Amino acid sequence: MAPKLNIIVLLLCCACSKPAQNAAQPIAPSNLVAAQLEPGQIRLGWKDNSSDEANFIVQRGTAPSGTFGKIAVLAPNTTGYTDPKPGQTGNTVYYRVQAVNAQGFGPFTNTVEIIIGATPTASPTASPTPSPTGTPTPSQTPTPTASPSPSPTPSTTPVPPTPSPTATPTPTVTPSPSPTPTPTATPVQTRTVTVVIVDPTPGHTYEIYCNGAMVAVLNGADEVGVPNLVVGQTYQFANRVLDANRIPSPMSSPVSYTVTAATTQQLDIEHP
């Protein structure tokens, strides 16, 4: 197995299918991400949400709200692009993508920014937030029952005794029922699955896809951990390779994988 070098993990929300749409401007692509592929090159990836686009247009700018210029027009169903000349090292650049068809230009994706660096850097991995545990409400203490007062003893004086009044007993206080405790919420369990490329070709770059969205780029390595996958859920994994000229191959056949509760999990996939 090749050494683990320059692993770039791009976290995306995994979505499985494209929504249905009528004849209109195409739906905007989503989940645009950018990564430093190697010195002087930026790799972009996004989720294709439309089914009737004619092209994808990639734009680049030097400010998030400034002027963007078109740098590429891509074929339909494209989900990635390598910018070979983003600019001078140390500068910050911004990217956005839109789909276009015969009805017009669709909305843009989210805008991403990246600093042009000399070497690839790994993106941070997000940890899932556990669900809070509910605290049960304490039970109320019932009020004790009051006892009736005893009747006084009649006087022994030879005066006709006056009958003593009968004491009225204090009514019994019924205790309030105890509230039902709030059940404890069960946290969602997630795991990291290690995806391994079988027999990778040296010098090539591999893009890893989960449910149709790019989640990682392997540059000089043959495996990567894909985090935050829900236990019990089934995911579709695929990959494609970029040759030395950054020309992508067709996508490999998808491989289904169901996440288990095991601590260590590995998925081997063949390269295209």
- Model confidence pLDDT, tens digit, residues 30-41: 999 999 887 779
Q: How many degrees, rounded to 5, is the angle at CA 29 between CA 27 and CA 34?
A: 165
Section 111-119 average pLDDT: 84
Q: Tell whether the model's pLDDT for residue 214 goes beyond 80.
A: yes
The domain made up of 7-121+188-270 has a fold known as: Immunoglobulin-like (2.60.40)
Give the pair of three-digit tokens for residue 133: 């545990």
Pairing of strands 265-270, 190-198: parallel
Residues 118/89, Cβ–Cβ less than 8 Å: yes
Q: Tell whether the model's pLDDT for residue 17 goes beyond 70.
A: no
With pLDDT > 70 as the criterion, what percentage of the chain qualifies?
A: 70
Extents of the domains making up the chain: 7-121+188-270
Q: How many degrees, rounded to 5, is the angle at CA 259 between CA 19 and CA 18?
A: 5
Predicted confidence band at 219 (pLDDT cuts at 50, 70, 90)?
A: confident
Residues 228/126, Cβ–Cβ less than 8 Å: yes
Indicate the average pLDDT of the chain.
78
pLDDT of residue 131: 44
pLDDT of residue 143: 52
Q: How far apart are CA 99 and CA 120, in angstroms?
A: 28
Pairing of strands 80-83, 68-74: unpaired
Contacts of 141 (CB under 8 A, 6+ apart): 175
Between 147 and 220, whose confidence is greater?
A: 220
- The amino acid at residue 231 is V
Q: How far apart are CA 10 and CA 192, in angstroms?
A: 14
Q: Tell whether the model's pLDDT for residue 42 goes beyond 80.
A: yes
Helices (H) and strands (E) in the chain, counts: 0, 16
Between 265 and 150, whose confidence is greater?
A: 265
Q: Tell whether the model's pLDDT for residue 75 goes beyond 90.
A: yes
CA 181 to chain centre: 31
Sheet (strand 205-210) strand order: 7-9, 213-219, 205-210, 234-242, 255-258
Between 126 and 194, whose confidence is greater?
A: 194
User: Which candidate, 32, 199, 191, places its Cα nearest to that of 110?
Assistant: 32
With pLDDT > 90 as the criterion, what percentage of the chain qualifies?
A: 38
pLDDT of residue 9: 38
Pairing of strands 41-47, 80-83: antiparallel
pLDDT, tens digit (0-9, with 9 covering 90-100), for 152-196: 554 455 556 666 666 666 767 677 777 777 767 778 889 899 999
Q: Tell whether the model's pLDDT for residue 129 goes beyond 70.
A: no
Count Cβ atoms below 10 Å from residue 8 Cβ, excluding itself: 21
Q: Tell whether the model's pLDDT for residue 148 goes beyond 90.
A: no
Q: Which of 84-88, 97-101, 170-174 bottoms out in mean pLDDT, i.e. has the lowest?
A: 170-174
Between 47 and 38, whose confidence is greater?
A: 47
Between 220 and 13, whose confidence is greater?
A: 220
What are the CA-CA distances from residue 241 to residues 97, 128, 201 (Å)?
22, 30, 9
DSSP string, 212-227: TEEEEEEES-SEEEEE
Give the pair of three-digit tokens for residue 249: 């191959």
Give the pair of three-digit tokens for residue 137: 């409400």
Q: 257 has which bridge partners?
A: 235
